[in-house]
Amino acid sequence: MKSEREQKLIEQAYAEVEKYETLVNRDRYRLRYHLMPPVGLMNDPNGLIDWHGTYHVFYQWMPFRTGHGAKFWGHYTSPDLVHWQAAPIALAPSEWYDKDGCYSGSAISCDGKLVLFYTGNVKDEQGNRQTYQCMAVSEDGIHFTKKGVVITLPDGYTAHFRDPKVWRYQGHWYMILGAQSESGDGKAVLFRSADLCHWEHLGPIAGGNMNGLGPFGYMWECPDLFPLDGQDVLIVCPQGLKPDGMRYQNVYQSGYFVGRFDYERAEFLHGTFEELDRGFEFYAPQTMLDRNGRRILIGWMGVPDQDEDRQPTVSHRWVHALTLPRELRLTGGKLRQTPVEELKQLRKQKVAYPSATVVNELRSWPGLEGDAIELRLDNIELFGSMMEIYFRHAARLVYNSDEGVLTLERKSFVNGLTEKRQCRLPRLRSLHVFLDTSSIELFVNDGEETFTARFFPHPDDQTILFGTHGHLHMDIEKWDLLR
């Protein structure tokens, strides 16, 4: 049962959806096959789980404006990771322990129930923060009852202590949280429980000035620890990293460490930090293990404090979206991300150009244009110094083979100037592009690198152009995508 206060907040949120439905849906930048908020601001994906034959994605949601605030948990469900349906609002910020936001968290299955863990955010009149780790339970996966606080803030940390990710291992439950130590270091902190209600604090397993890492940001958000292909992976979002060459160009970062986690010692020995995505908008990813044994990741197509209020969709009363679901694999100590196979269900009207050639020119092919398409370039062979692809005259992908650098450029939605994100790439072999009305997701060399970004071309411009300095050969396949 939900409290009277929670029911009232949920009713107010639905009223907001109804009030702005026409305005939101009139926006030509609404995406065709990505998850978006019905109104207001969407951020972190939460509670990813494959439960009783249904995929669940919850998300941070502010329905009353396109800025941050006291977050709800919105909810989508799907039988196949492709066709999604809006489910009833799962959580609203209604109780003393979460009145200023039901912040991010995760979902698990226990005794036939779907159990959510989330951070309750509380602020006093002076803006001082308190934080609580909370639990909610559902019998049907749709209607949730809050059970209250299960963990209060332990000694040694500030109130920036949030985003519980919970899993089971050899008879115990484990919870990892993002934290800031009192000394100002970002940390990933571990707890253990036998019953989900009583939790033992095991301490930090990774963070700044640990494991030989040195200082590494002032706060770590959204940690996720899981086994993959014989090793352990810790995904985390450090805040406070300074730009370093091509790396760390966004306001906040999202990346991972690969290593070995010792459950007996609660110790994680790991290698270097690697960014998950090289694009402009990618943050707060979460993973789940699905019915087929795959490790599936979904991220937020946004970054906090990165000109969110300047995105063009704000005038239509909504902002942000989630990425496509991606399967993770670990190859040579590096995470590879590839779009899940189920997305092929979206394909319509295939166009193919085997052995396509571009020679010192800028050209296009009939049928490759579109604003919601999938594009594959395979067997790429470049005999020359540079190739480029223009997407709707608002984004450009450039590969410089002499320097071994891949660059994604776009027109800034803040000032209209060209901005870029880059990575080192010794050789370009393939590109897998998912283009939506106002987003692009690039999977390079079968997921060796990814670039995720929002961009806002003229809605009537569907042009895709290919250019080279030299000779370019490739096999091209393109599909229109329709959900």
Catalytic positions, please? 44
Query: How many residues belong to the chain?
Result: 483
Q: Provide φ and ψ at 413, rounded to 5°.
A: -80, 0
181 touches 157 (CB < 8 A)? yes
